[in-house]
């Protein structure tokens, strides 16, 4: 089953069953083989050795076929692990992304450009946006060293209801929010996926970086932006070290040998 727009994304978190793991030689190989098989089918998976006691092992899986992702999750359950949390979402485009008319007006207003030069600017802009849209809908996750995930929703409080704001006001606020995020380009990869109607929250936020402090810094700074400070509710945070499947399994006590 393939969504009409975007890819499916699963965030899966497990606790190792220590008693079973001690007696199941090659338990980690089941995880490694499941990841290899998924990737061979044109999907992606990141494995994490989790920090803290919420979970031992984390897996982020994404790709075009929801049925294949479900089968992958079922394969992982064959290992001596117990699921403790999961999240289901889809990659998506933001409804607040600038349109070509927005960019045309901005360039004319701020840079006083018109005529052929304006059209050349817009052609370059269209190329950049096509790349951006492709990255949002079909992301290629890089091998960063640490990952944090959390779900979030927009607040509906009587004095701060995001959904009662006019579209133009929401778009302006999100533009400021995005500018904060762009300051971390190159340091933090942000994957924002939609889950309205398919899981308990409205969005899932996955942050990948080589420096754990960058994860803390971007979330802290964004908390001061009105979109977060006034209109956002946050779920639990899951943070782990991104490792090759074999290393992640070894770190959490899932043996790779078959003897």
* Tens of pLDDT, residues 173-199: 998 888 888 888 889 999 999 999 999
Given the structure tokens 């070290």, which residue do they identify? 241
Decide if pLDDT at 259 tops 60. Answer: no
Provide the H-helix boundaries in 41-166. Answer: 66-76, 100-111, 115-137
Res 119: pLDDT: 80
Q: Give the pLDDT band of residue 24 (cuts 50, 70, 90).
A: confident
Residue range 252-256: average pLDDT?
91
Bridge partners, residue 191, by sequence: 206
User: Which CATH topology does 1-95+141-259 take?
Assistant: Alpha-Beta Plaits (3.30.70)
C-alpha distances in angstroms, 2 versus 8, 65, 135, 152, 187?
8, 5, 18, 25, 32
Residue 15 pLDDT class (50, 70, 90 cuts): very high
| Distance in angstroms (rounded) separating the CA atoms of residues 44 and 217 | 27
Q: Look at residue 17 and tell me whether its pLDDT is greater than 60.
A: yes
Cβ atoms 102, 175 nearer than 8 A: no
Q: What are phi and psi of 78, to 5 degrees?
A: -75, -20
Query: Is 96's pLDDT higher than 90?
Result: no
Whether residue 258 is predicted with pLDDT greater than 80 in this model: the reply is no
Residue where the block lists tokens 């190792």: 16
Q: What mean pLDDT do residues 130-146 have? A: 91
Confidence (pLDDT) at 95: 87
What are the residue numbers of the active site?
Answer: 150
Confidence of residue 245 (pLDDT cuts 50, 70, 90): very high
Residues 6+ apart with CB under 8 A from 202: 151, 152, 153, 154, 194, 195, 196
Q: Please report which residue ranges of the chain form alpha helices under DSSP H.
A: 18-23, 27-40, 66-76, 100-111, 115-137, 167-182, 212-223, 226-229, 245-251
């Amino acid at each position: 089953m393939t969504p009409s727009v975007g890819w499916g994304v699963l965030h899966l978190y497990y606790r190792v069953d220590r008693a079973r793991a001690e007696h199941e030689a090659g338990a980690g190989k089941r995880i490694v083989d499941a990841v290899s098989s998924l990737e061979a089918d044109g999907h992606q998976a990141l494995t994490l050795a989790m920090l803290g006691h919420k979970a031992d092992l984390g897996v982020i899986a994404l790709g075009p076929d929801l049925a294949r992702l479900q089968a992958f999750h079922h394969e992982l359950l064959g290992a001596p692990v117990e699921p403790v949390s999961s999240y289901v979402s889809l990659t998506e485009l933001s409804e607040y992304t600038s349109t070509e008319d927005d960019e045309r007006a901005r360039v004319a207003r701020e840079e006083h450009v018109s005529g052929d030069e304006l059209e050349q600017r817009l052609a370059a802009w269209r190329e950049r946006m096509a790349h951006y849209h492709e990255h949002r809908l079909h992301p290629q996750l890089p091998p960063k060293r640490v990952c944090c995930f959390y779900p979030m929703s927009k607040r509906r409080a009587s004095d701060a209801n995001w959904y009662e704001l006019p579209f133009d006001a929401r778009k302006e606020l999100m533009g400021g929010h995005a500018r904060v995020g762009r300051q971390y380009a190159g340091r933090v990869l942000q994957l924002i996926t939609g889950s309205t109607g398919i899981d308990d929250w409205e969005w899932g936020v996955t942050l990948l970086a080589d420096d754990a402090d960058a994860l803390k810094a971007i979330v802290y700074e964004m908390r001061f932006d009105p979109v977060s400070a006034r209109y956002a509710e946050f779920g639990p945070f899951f943070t782990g070290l991104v490792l090759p499947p074999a290393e992640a399994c070894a770190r959490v006590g899932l043996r790779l040998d078959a003897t």
